[in-house]
Amino acid sequence: MHPRHAVVLLLLCLAVGEAQAQFAMSAGIEYFSWTEDTQPISVKERGPLLTFGLSYTQLKERGFLFAYQGKFYTGNVDYNGAYLYAPNVPVSGTSTYTGTWQEGQLRYRLRGGLDLLGALGVDVWERQLSTTQKEDYQVAYLRLGVESSPSVRKGWLFGAGVKYPVYTRENAYFTDFGYDNNPTLSPGKELSGFANVGYRFGKNWALIGYLDSFRFSKSNEVTLTVGGTPQATAYQPASDMYVVGVKVEYQF
């Protein structure tokens, strides 16, 4: 599924919502981890990202309802790996991440405020590895799980489930390295998980901790050319990403 199709679905979810709705905004910090299965030296990126989020949920006691969540994130993380064309030479530095995910949700609310969750989302980010090397990712994904209702007025919040990318695209900007073509990479799709736990202190404020992740297997291999002549083969190695974060949420 192309990300623009997912965006259209998000807008439709909001358009058909009831007049009564619950909105929330949040801010927080998360520990980011990215690992690539490269040999002989694995690429590892670790560090903090700042986050800002918005959400919308239909007010409904039971049955099907729509919801939306979105988050923006940015930060600099430590890079430890090797040079692209000298994989035996270790190198360290800083990578900059900037991105956003937007998600439409279909929930079924059971008695007692427990929600069965199905969600379709798009996660788009830029990974700036150096002044001359960057990558853009576009990932559409599905989430399935169980969560406590966002409309809980006071008490514990929790949720858990699985996440699966249904569309992946990576732009590695090969022309910046002197090649005359820039083929698209498509990292392989693997199942991962998510979980959250928090406490709402009253009608407005909540503190929530969470774990989120992606897992990608090795991408397709592409041929890079110079002057129309094949010069190299490239691919994105198997990669794992997870974040552990905490956020303060204000509901109104």
Helical H segments across the chain, by residue range: 3-15
In terms of residue numbers, what domain contains 216?
Answer: 3-251
Q: Of the given ranges (82-86, 90-94, 146-150, 157-161), which has the lowest mean pLDDT?
A: 82-86
pLDDT score for 9 = 46
Phi-psi region of 155 (alpha: psi -120 to 50; beta: other; left: phi over 0): left
| Cα gap 163→241, rounded to integer Å | 12
Q: Is the pLDDT of residue 8 over 80?
A: no
Q: Give the count of domains, the chain.
A: 1
Residue 237: pLDDT band (50, 70, 90) is very high
The enclosing domain of 161 has a CATH number of 2.40.128.100
Bridge partners for 154 per DSSP: none
What mean pLDDT do residues 226-231 have?
A: 94
Cα distance between residue 230 and residue 79, in whole Å: 30
Quick check: 222 and 172 in contact, CB under 8 A?
Answer: no
What pLDDT digit, counting tens, does each position of 30-47 carry? 999 999 999 899 999 999
Q: How many CB atoms lie within 10 A of CB 146?
A: 13
pLDDT digits (tens, 9 = 90+) for 172-185: 999 998 999 999 99
pLDDT of residue 20: 61
Residue whose token pair is 């910046």: 176
- Residue 190, classified by CB atoms within 10 Å of its CB into exposed (0-12), middle (13-18) or buried (19+), is middle
* 188-197 pLDDT tens trace: 999 999 999 9
Q: Are 243 and 49 in contact (CB under 8 A)?
A: yes
Which pLDDT score, from 0 to 100, does residue 16 have?
A: 43
Alpha carbons 105 and 79: distance in angstroms, whole number: 34
- The two three-digit tokens of residue 147, written as one number: 């969560």
User: In terms of Cα–Cα distance, which of 193, 206, 188 is closest to 244?
Assistant: 193
